[in-house]
Chains A and B, each alone.
With several copies, the nearest count.
Chain A
């Protein structure tokens, strides 16, 4: 069994190596008990079909025994196989034994084992043959620069007269009819601003000045004047509340008069109906 290694030429690791007496045992490289049996069978160097199953069983049991001695952990299926082979061996060495009803004879069992080993061997040979085929992109090659089919898009449009008229009439009408609302941003004189301005003017406002004359000079005319008038009036009302000015209006919509109360002069009655 010195040339075991060559039997593993297809395998990555040598699982069993032995000299004449001692077996060196490892199950690492075996793919199960059948694989181990096949390896042992090959070591007998006879046609597997004619192999001595008795000898094979003995070698297997010896291997398992050796494995146990070195406390090698064996998968359960190795042990099941060992038990079965031990049973087969016992029946093979007792040729006179009568086969129980419905059970195969020891010879039949041996034949069956040989057949399974042969089959595994044959499938391995087939695998090797398959992998040795000329393979695409390794040994044989397709066109290196294929010419793809040009897909020419034949474009058609789904647009109909209905779409055209909708686009013309509906969309356009909406654009013309419903002009988008755009808020007009009016100029606004802030009330605070108007009040600050009036407070600065306190003491310089004459007796009963018309409100319209108190507006900022740059807030005359149109929108600006309206805002300035409103803000200044509100500012005057605040100042009046604080007792800083007095207001007087002859009639609705007439000019409003403002009198400064911060000054030293005594309040006078305003002229009405200016």
Chain B
């Protein structure tokens, strides 16, 4: 009687949840479930509470629903601060599909993407410093075209270079709650690999500190990209 055992385990889990979070309205729970199931895209708490009756405890409903679905074939995931039902990761073998060809990235692009993700906000020069090579113009273009990388702002250093960061689509694609949840982030931080480049003077030669031969200054017509890219100058 596997089933009963599972059920009892479920109850125990539920009871735990019960003691942690306040009792939730079961009708509200159904509604959140329906809303999240129906929507193709991740929904944030605000979107949920707009559709729910006044006074519904959205955070409690979500954590309750997450607990209900925790062991199921479908899980309620937190993606980019929003919530979405997704098939359980361990069932990937059952559902796996080949990625469409256009999203196959070059080695350089993958490496650049990782550096942007972990080091953001990061300038082109900093990416080149880490990779030890001048970047071809196409690399970041490809990442921006796929929609995973965006221009965040400009660094308050001479030349005011633009800074890159990852987009929400990146978080959605890789199933991340936020960039703070990148795998191995803490280890990299502890090892000091994410810190700003130490003062130069005794540094290994950089591929290019200034403007690369294939690099144009950022200006004018791209101003709109900046505006849409949730710029955070403070971090620069």
Contact = CB atoms under 8 A, between A and B. Distances in A.
Most buried by A among B146, B175, B193: B193
Contact of A134 (B92, B200, B202): B92
B53 interface: no
Contacts of A59: none
Given A35-B132, A141-B87, A176 B202 contact: yes
B46 interface: no
B118 interface: yes
Nearest to A109: B202
A169 B182 CA distance: 12
Interface in B18-42: 34, 37-41
Interface string B132-161: 111000000000001000000000000000
B175 A31 contact: no
Contact of A164 (B38, B96, B114, B134): B114
B87 A32 contact: no
B2 interface: no
B97 A159 contact: no
B163 interface: no
Contact of B199 (A119, A139, A176): A176
A160 B37 CA distance: 44
Interface stretch (B4-12, B57-65, B105-113, B222-230): B105-113
Interface in A156-193: 156-161, 163-173, 175-178
B3 interface: no
Contacts of B193: 118-119, 122-123, 165-166, 168-170
A150 B113 CA distance: 31
A12 B85 contact: no
Given A116-B204, A158-B104, A146 B114 contact: no
B110 A167 contact: yes
A130 B95 contact: no
Interface string B77-112: 000000011111100100111111111110110110
B218 interface: no
Contacts of A112: 198, 202-204
A130 B114 contact: yes
Given A32-B131, A136-B175, A177-B199, A126 B98 contact: no
A32 B96 contact: no
Interface stretch (A76-84, A221-229, A244-252, A266-274): A76-84
Given A32-B134, A165-B188, A130 B40 contact: no
A104 B95 contact: no
Interface string A55-89: 00000000000000000000001001100100000
B231 interface: no
Contacts of A131: 110
A120 interface: yes
Q: 6 nearest interchain CB pairs?
A: A34-B132, A32-B133, A104-B202, A177-B199, A146-B40, A127-B114
Interface of A: 10-12, 31-35, 37, 77, 80-81, 84, 102-104, 108-109, 112-113, 116, 118-120, 122-127, 129-131, 133-161, 163-173, 175-178
10 contacts: A31-B107, A108-B202, A138-B99, A140-B95, A148-B38, A150-B96, A152-B97, A161-B175, A164-B110, A169-B188
